[in-house]
Amino acid sequence: MERRQWGAGLLHTRSGRSSRFDRAEFQRKWFVVPSFFGLILSVSIITALTVGLGQSAQALPSFARQTGQPCGTCHTDFPGLTPFGRLFKLNGYTTGGGKFRTTLFPSQDDATNALAAYAKKFGGGQDSAKPGQSDTSNIWVPPISMMAIVGYTHTQADQPASSPYKPNNNVVVAPLSFFYGGAITDQVGAFAQVTYNNAAFGGSAPGAFNPDPCANCEWSWDNIDVRYANTGRLGNMDVIYGISANNNPTVQDPWNTTPAWGFPYAGSTIAPGPAAATLIDGTYAAYVGGVGGYAFINNLVYLELTGYRTLNFKTLPKLGLDPLGAAPFQNLAPYWRVAIEPHWGNHWLEFGAFGIAASVHPFTGATDVNGFAINQTFPQTDRFTDVAFDSQYQYQGPNYWITFRGTYIHENQKLNASFNNGLSANPTNTLNTLKAYGSFAYGNDNRIVFSGQYFETRGSSDPTLYAALNSCQPPDTTCNPNSNGYIAEIAYIPFSSSSAPVWPWANVRVALQYTYYNKFDGTSLNAHSNNTLFLHAWLAM
Amino acid sequence: MSVICSETFQRSFEVKGVKARIMKLTRSRLAILVISFAAVFPRAGHAESLAIRNCTWCHGVSAQGYNPAPGLAGQRREYIQSQLRNFSEHTRDNPFSQLYMWGATANLSPATAHDLAIYFSTLPPQAADDGYRALEEKGKAIYQLGMPDANTAACVVCHGPNAEGVGEIPRLGGLAYTYLKRRLEQWGQGYHATAKPPMPGIASKLSVEQIEALASYLSFVK
Amino acid sequence: MAGRGRQHTQNSARRGLPIVGLQLASQAAILTIAFTTAGRAEDAVSKHDLQAKMTYCKTCHGSSGQGLRAYYSIPRLAGQQPEYLTNQLRAFAERRRTNNIMFNVAHVLTPAMQKALVTDFHELNPRPLGGAPKDLVEAGKKIYEEGISGADIPPCASCHGPDAKGNEQFPRLAGQLHDYIFSKLKNWTKERGQNPKEPDISAMMEPIAHGLTEPQIKAVAAYVSYLE
Amino acid sequence: MKFIRATSQFVIVTVVFSATARADAVSKQNFAAKIGYCQDCHGVSGQGYRGFYPIPRLAGQQTEYLENQLRAFVEHRRTNNVMFNVAHNLSPAMIRALATNFRHFNPRPLGGAPKNLVTAGKKIFEDGVPDANIVACAACHGPDAVGKNEFPRLAGQIYPYVVKTLTNWTSERGQIPGKPDTSAVMQPVVHSLTKSQIEAVAAYVSYLQ
């Protein structure tokens, strides 16, 4: 479930904050199978490997093992969430009921005895069933899962060749992730992801960061969300509340209208993408750490407040990230989230708002004696204030889900530092992104998902800031970050139900995704050349 | 809780001219946040066993139901037990039963099922109140007196005057309109056919309007 | 099917009786009160006990002792000779006449209670249930009054009286249920005189019952069943 | 399952149908539907059902008794608004046909009554309780409680139903003082029966095949 954009190390391909580093230069293939046949081969190897594992798995396999529920319970357009999926997340990934116990430190025994005592007291116990085998004795399985996306990327026009990739039609296995997903104790659970990526940062180019401490460390930590969650009563209203520690603003959000878990869920790591993105749109994914509290009151009102801080320069490489990837915050950046989700019959309608405000010290770009960038930032700060409005409508039919989502993010940039140090032409900029998405997921057992999205980024033009963009190459001088286009995807999930042979040990999501650019990085001039066809198999064990 | 968006958040502090205190406040806010949450929401008052939370995950924190999951609070103990058995034996084969409950009960030990049944049966039920008021009267007539000319038996005879059920016969009072409607329709479609008579027979005689009226009436029964 | 038909009409007839029965019962009650207050100061049988016991007997013998066609056809007691009733109760208690239900009833009755009961029932005189085939009445009357010379069956009237009201130990037959009479005469020896060591008066009827043919029994039964 | 029930119903219907010579305007088709209607509550073979209210066994019941009860419901002499609603639009022919229909069933009794009461129940049933002026039930209901004509069959009747009926006899039956009916016979009996005696007798009859 990784957002491919920051899987590519320094510069997340979907959009770059500072575009000073050329993406292709940092590509390094992990293993590339030259032809289409290769894709089939690798898919079959991996599937054979997993089937051999015996029982079957799915959703985040460790969740399936923990809950015993098929994919369809929590996911509509996988990994998009159903209301129950959201409740599972809000309950801190701790609820279970499946064949396997994944909790590290279960307080299971005394809880079960408490239930039994309660039952004896109230039930009168005339027909108390024989004390059979209690649930704690089922096999303990470490809540470890892994996932790999084997993707074939074809762009309409050839991209500039960058070893080890061919200009076009590459087959890449990226990212490859390992997860810890499940309950740690009865009240605390985690969703932690570590990703191996073939687009490692570092290299010989001048101005690049000296990778010396971990020359080819291509492992990096990815979405992490560790939660304490509990339920309680506020007056006569039920409340699910908890505290979440995470490293990516909106990764902890239950709805898929927020950037961290927004569509497209999987994209090609080597395909081109619009450079500009708002701060909350994944720019600081994995570069920050935050702790916050949330509450979901009466299954209706969701409130959350989290404070984020950027990690310091030294720890970032240890976590496999290029410290120059995102500029440090001045102090705590508050993130807030408010949402209301009326639910009637089989309909769920959510609408809400979220936002973040951060003061950022941009890097000066100075290099040391042998040309490697050093940790130096401007004294002034750029003030980014994001405010976003989102809405989602979900309808559950007998064996299908219909989902519509809309997200509008408005970013207000006060670029005091960048403007005064010649990094941007205007003192203030705005950047808005709009996403409108719809999907139809059919079939409880094996599921077919048709989804489509319109995306648009529009912002004020800034010749200095957006100098590298297509719209700033003469004769075009508009230098604006505007791009828009469509993404369509058809996905098929064969082993979605518990009757499947491989459930709950492994699953695969085969998808064909086509991205069509109407306008790319400010111009529609050969924007079509970036249209990408991405056929991928998403394997999860 | 007013919608705090970052600009107003920013301006309100500057307006009060307490810029210096922002730093201290923001750093301490985290602390306030943590304490306030833990204090405000008292625990549910009894050992919240994980087995219970496996159910309240979907059936609602106080098991009042969260469609498509029906309310469990106040349901008859023997009914919960027999349905859990039906789920694990796959005899209750309605679509959502298959999707959600077969997996949920695959590893449920009889002892836990028995204790859970008692626990939920002791919770006070709240009416879902989500039916159509206009149909309530018609539904009540069908429930209390049945429809002799349509040969439809009166539900009150088995389910009781306040639809509280008895023994293995379920409580219907207060359940959600959509759930009741779906279940009644599915009886007619032949799901859960191996259930003991008379339900399959009775429900299959009900027309759509009668089902909607019944479901509406029952959703308001306290 | 025909049988059921007759049953049906009688059934509706019977429904009318309870009203009559209720009034009669209350009259009987008053009578007994009058009776006891009129100085028959034997050992005291409290009015309440008597009343309860009377209701108890009437549950099966009909609300005014007119008899009841339940699983068994239960005989009419109204107007029965007190001495006969007492003999029968004693026969039940001593198992000379075998009927499990009546044994249970009889063996707890104190002599005083027995006396009060039989007196009460003697006073009752509801209309007979009837229901016997009318065409047999004529033949029945002939047998009742003249007996059957060929089979040396004496006329019934000789002992039971011309109007079949019976006297002292000879039972009243008037108004008795015809099916009851029929089943008793048919199996006379199966129920009565069961204690060979103590022959009782029932032995007298034994040759007669034995001698009568079924049609003759039906005829006599039909005849007496309509007598008021 | 549904198909078998339908065919068996049809078979019974034809048997019954030919038997009730006088069953005039009762079309075979809506008779079968009406039988299904009774079976929905009284059980597929009329064995009775323990709903919220215990629903009596009709299998093997005396036809005349059933007819009387249906008429009693219609005339409100016996008050039960569900049964009134069921019976009030039944034609006399249909009532007769229905009453006859259940005569032929003889499923195993549901049982489930406390076994330890059976012996005491048998004694009361057969001998009555003379000193408490309780009549022997066998007198009217017959030694094996199959009943006769307007005297109902008790054999196999479900335990909670017998207990409920005997306990509040006067609150449901003989509700029109002006028009007493056969239920009046039982009034003195139920009046003197104690709770434990009722349960004993009910337990005893509920196991009779």
Nearest CA in chain D to B203: D40
Residues 6+ apart with CB under 8 A from D114: D199, D203
Partner residue opposite D51 with nearest CB, options B146, B148, B157 = B157
**Cα gap C95→C185, rounded to integer Å:** 19
Task: List the subunits that have 3+ CB pairs under 8 angstroms with C.
Answer: D
Enter the tokens of residue B36. 């306030």
Is residue B175 a contact partner of residue B159, using CB atoms and an 8 Å limit? no
**Cα gap B155→D82, rounded to integer Å:** 10
C125 φ, ψ (degrees, to nearest 5) = -150, 65
**Cα gap A369→B26, rounded to integer Å:** 39
If you count them, how many residues does chain B have? 222
Nearest CA in chain C to D62: C71
**B50–A68 CB contact, under 8 Å:** no
Q: How far away is chain C from the Cα of D133, in angstroms, using its nearest Cα?
A: 5
pLDDT score, position D3 = 54
- Mean pLDDT across the stretch C1-18? 39
A94 φ, ψ (degrees, to nearest 5) = -100, -20
**A138–B100 CB contact, under 8 Å:** no
**D64–C105 CB contact, under 8 Å:** no
Q: Which of residues 51-70 of B touch D (CB under 8 A)?
A: none
Which of A170-174, A527-531, C212-216, D18-22 is the least confident region? D18-22
Chain D residues within 8 A of C20 when measuring between CB atoms? none
Is residue C96 a contact partner of residue C193, using CB atoms and an 8 Å limit? yes
pLDDT score, position D201 = 94
Enter the tokens of residue B216. 């509406």
Partner residue opposite C55 with nearest CB, options D133, D140, D180 = D133
Q: In the predicted model, what is the mean pLDDT of chain D?
A: 84
Partner residue opposite D64 with nearest CB, options C11, C59, C105 = C11
Enter the tokens of residue A137. 């004795």
**Cα gap B153→B204, rounded to integer Å:** 12
Does D116 lie at the interface with B, CB-CB under 8 angstroms?
no
Does D88 lie at the interface with B, CB-CB under 8 angstroms?
yes
**Cα gap D105→D99, rounded to integer Å:** 12
The string over C43-81, giving b where at least 16 C-beta atoms fall within 10 Å of a residue's C-beta and e elsewhere, is eebeeeebbebbbbbbbbbbbbbbbbbbbbbbbbbbbbb
- Helix, strand or coil for residue A276? coil
Cβ-Cβ pairs closer than 8 A, C with D, add up to 76
Partner residue opposite D41 with nearest CB, options B145, B167, B198 = B198
Chain D residues within 8 A of B200 when measuring between CB atoms? 1-2
Helix, strand, coil percentages (3-state) for chain B, rounded to 5, are: 60, 5, 40
D88, pLDDT greater than 50? yes
Nearest CA in chain D to C56: D133
* Bridge partner residues of A488 (DSSP): A452, A514
Q: What is the largest CA-CA distance in chain A?
A: 88
**D41–B161 CB contact, under 8 Å:** no
Residues 6+ apart with CB under 8 A from A40: none
**Cα gap C61→C78, rounded to integer Å:** 9
Chain A residues within 8 A of B177 when measuring between CB atoms? 345
Which of B29-38, C56-65, D30-39 is the least confident region? B29-38
pLDDT score, position B202 = 84
Partner residue opposite B157 with nearest CB, options D37, D41, D44 = D41
Is residue C98 a contact partner of residue C189, using CB atoms and an 8 Å limit? no
What would the pLDDT profile of A377-402 be if each residue is shown by its tens digit? 889 999 999 999 999 999 998 889 99
* Touching status, chains A and D (3+ beta-carbon pairs under 8 Å): no
What fold, for B2-121? Cytochrome Bc1 Complex; Chain D, domain 2 (1.10.760)
Nearest alpha carbon to residue A461 among A479, A442, A482: A479
In chain C, the N- to C-terminal Cα span, in Å, equals 29
**B146–D49 CB contact, under 8 Å:** no
**A498–B102 CB contact, under 8 Å:** yes
- ipTM of the complex as predicted: 0.76
Chain B residues within 8 A of A335 when measuring between CB atoms? none
Neighbours of D22 (CB within 10 A): 10
pLDDT score, position A33 = 36
pLDDT score, position A42 = 47
Task: Provide the strand spans (E) within A379-482.
Answer: 382-396, 400-415, 428-442, 447-459
pLDDT score, position D97 = 87
Chain B residues within 8 A of A355 when measuring between CB atoms? 5-6
- In this structure, what is the dihedral angle of CA atoms D84, D90, D91, D92, given to the nearest 10 degrees? -50
Is residue A326 a contact partner of residue A310, using CB atoms and an 8 Å limit? yes
B133, pLDDT greater than 90? yes
Is residue A408 a contact partner of residue A388, using CB atoms and an 8 Å limit? yes
Chain D residues within 8 A of C8 when measuring between CB atoms? 64
Residue D57 banded pLDDT, cuts 50, 70, 90 = very high
* Bridge partner residues of A148 (DSSP): A176, A539
- Mean pLDDT across the stretch B147-164? 87
Q: Which of residues 153-192 of B touch D (CB under 8 A)?
A: 153-154, 156-161, 164-167, 169
Chain D residues within 8 A of C11 when measuring between CB atoms? 64, 149-150
What would the pLDDT profile of A173-231 be if each residue is shown by its tens digit? 777 888 888 888 888 889 999 888 654 444 444 444 544 444 455 778 888 999 999 88
Q: How far away is chain B from the Cα of D52, in angstroms, using its nearest Cα?
A: 4
Nearest alpha carbon to residue A189 among B57, C78, D151, D198: B57
Is residue A348 a contact partner of residue A365, using CB atoms and an 8 Å limit? no
The secondary element (H helix, E strand) that includes residue A179 is strand A170-183
What pTM does this model have?
Answer: 0.77
Chain A residues within 8 A of B85 when measuring between CB atoms? none
Residue with tokens 């130990």: C169
Nearest CA in chain A to B122: A122
**B149–D89 CB contact, under 8 Å:** yes
Nearest CA in chain B to A185: B50
Neighbours of C19 (CB within 10 A): 14
Domain positions in chain B: 2-121, 133-220
Segments of chain A with pLDDT less than 70 = 1-60, 104, 106-112, 123-138, 163, 197-217, 445-446, 495-504
Answer yes or no: same fold for B2-121 and B133-220. Answer: yes
Nearest alpha carbon to residue A67 among B119, B101, B118: B101
* Bridge partner residues of A288 (DSSP): A310
Higher local confidence (pLDDT), C36 or A414: A414
pLDDT score, position B157 = 87
* Bridge partner residues of A150 (DSSP): A173, A537
Enter the tokens of residue D111. 């049982």
Nearest alpha carbon to residue A434 among A201, A327, A277, A313: A277
The residue type found at D39 is: Q
Partner residue opposite D131 with nearest CB, options C59, C60, C108 = C108
Q: How far away is chain C from the Cα of D182, in angstroms, using its nearest Cα?
A: 7
Is residue A429 a contact partner of residue A423, using CB atoms and an 8 Å limit? no
pLDDT score, position A52 = 30
**Cα gap A269→C128, rounded to integer Å:** 108
A432 φ, ψ (degrees, to nearest 5) = -120, 140
What would the pLDDT profile of C78-113 be if each residue is shown by its tens digit? 999 999 999 999 889 888 888 888 888 888 888 888
What letter does residue A505 receive in the DSSP assignment? T
Which of C169-173, D26-30, D134-138 is the least confident region? D26-30
Residues 6+ apart with CB under 8 A from D38: D46, D58, D86, D98, D102
Neighbours of A424 (CB within 10 A): 23
Give the residue from B151, B169, B199 with the most D CB atoms within 10 Å of its CB, the best one to mutate: B151
Nearest alpha carbon to residue B101 among B115, B120, B80: B80
**Cα gap D29→D33, rounded to integer Å:** 6
Task: List the subunits that have 3+ CB pairs under 8 angstroms with D.
Answer: B, C
Enter the tokens of residue C159. 């002992």
Q: How far away is chain D from the Cα of B165, in angstroms, using its nearest Cα?
A: 6
Chain D residues within 8 A of C72 when measuring between CB atoms? 139, 142
Partner residue opposite B34 with nearest CB, options A243, A303, A334 = A243
**D139–C72 CB contact, under 8 Å:** yes
The C-alpha angle with vertex A285 and arms to A283 and A286, in degrees rounded to 5, equals 140
* Bridge partner residues of A157 (DSSP): none
Nearest alpha carbon to residue A411 among A15, A4, A3: A15
**Cα gap C194→C181, rounded to integer Å:** 19
Give the residue from D9, D40, D98 with the most B CB atoms within 10 Å of its CB, the best one to mutate: D40
Q: How far away is chain B from the Cα of A353, in angstroms, using its nearest Cα?
A: 8
- Helix, strand or coil for residue C80? coil
Task: Provide the strand spans (E) within A298-416.
Answer: 301-310, 333-340, 343-344, 347-360, 382-396, 400-415
Nearest CA in chain B to A291: B30
* Touching status, chains B and C (3+ beta-carbon pairs under 8 Å): no
pLDDT score, position A445 = 64
Q: How far away is chain D from the Cα of B143, in angstroms, using its nearest Cα?
A: 10
Is residue B1 a contact partner of residue A201, using CB atoms and an 8 Å limit? no
The string of DSSP letters for A65-107 reads HHH---HHHHBSSTTSBPHHHHHHHHTTT----SSSB--SS--
pLDDT score, position B14 = 38
pLDDT score, position B139 = 95
**B133-220 classified as CATH 1.10.760.10:** yes
D125, pLDDT greater than 90? yes
pLDDT score, position A217 = 55
Enter the tokens of residue D131. 């000193």
Residue with tokens 């009015």: C47
* Bridge partner residues of C159 (DSSP): none
Q: How far away is chain C from the Cα of D65, in angstroms, using its nearest Cα?
A: 11
Nearest alpha carbon to residue A445 among B99, C140, D126: B99
The secondary element (H helix, E strand) that includes residue C157 is helix C157-160
Give the residue from C58, C61, C101, C109 with the most D CB atoms within 10 Å of its CB, the best one to mutate: C101
Neighbours of D206 (CB within 10 A): 28
**D140–C108 CB contact, under 8 Å:** no
